């Protein structure tokens, strides 16, 4: 019985960490995409952390699993099949759509 609590805590912290990582990667991707068109925006760590917290909150709440599970399976297939060109697309790098 006590193991269920530990499994739940481990799962939620793992999913939250993954969401935080995905959110920070989305900020990096959108920042570099904006600078590709010479908009010269400032790279702000606070915005990167906010993106990470948004991603963590999405990955912790079960309602978003329907969308996020499909996206994670897509990313898994891209990495398994080593599709490097696909890693530069918007769909791969954005958190939701």
- CB contact set of 4 (below 8 Å; sequence gap of 6+): none
- pLDDT tens digit sequence for 54-89: 999 999 988 888 888 899 999 999 999 999 999 999
% of residues, the chain, pLDDT over 70: 99
The rounded distance, in Å, linking the Cα atoms of 95 and 67 is 10
d(CA 44, CA 62): 30
Q: What is the pTM of this model?
A: 0.86
Q: Determine the Cα–Cα distance for residues 93 and 76; give it in Å rounded to an integer.
A: 13
Spell out the residues 6+ positions from residue 66 whose beta carbon is closer than 8 angstroms to its own: none
Matching residue, tokens 């400032």: 42
């Amino acid at each position: 019985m006590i193991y269920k609590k530990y499994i739940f805590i481990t799962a939620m912290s793992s999913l939250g960490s993954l969401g935080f990582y995905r959110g920070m990667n989305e900020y990096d991707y959108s920042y570099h995409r904006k600078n590709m068109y010479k908009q010269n925006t400032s790279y702000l760590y606070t915005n990167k952390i906010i993106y990470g917290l948004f991603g963590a909150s999405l990955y912790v709440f079960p309602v978003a699993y329907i969308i996020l599970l499909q996206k994670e399976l897509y990313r898994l297939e891209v990495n398994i099949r080593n599709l490097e060109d696909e890693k530069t697309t918007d769909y791969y790098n954005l958190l939701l759509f």
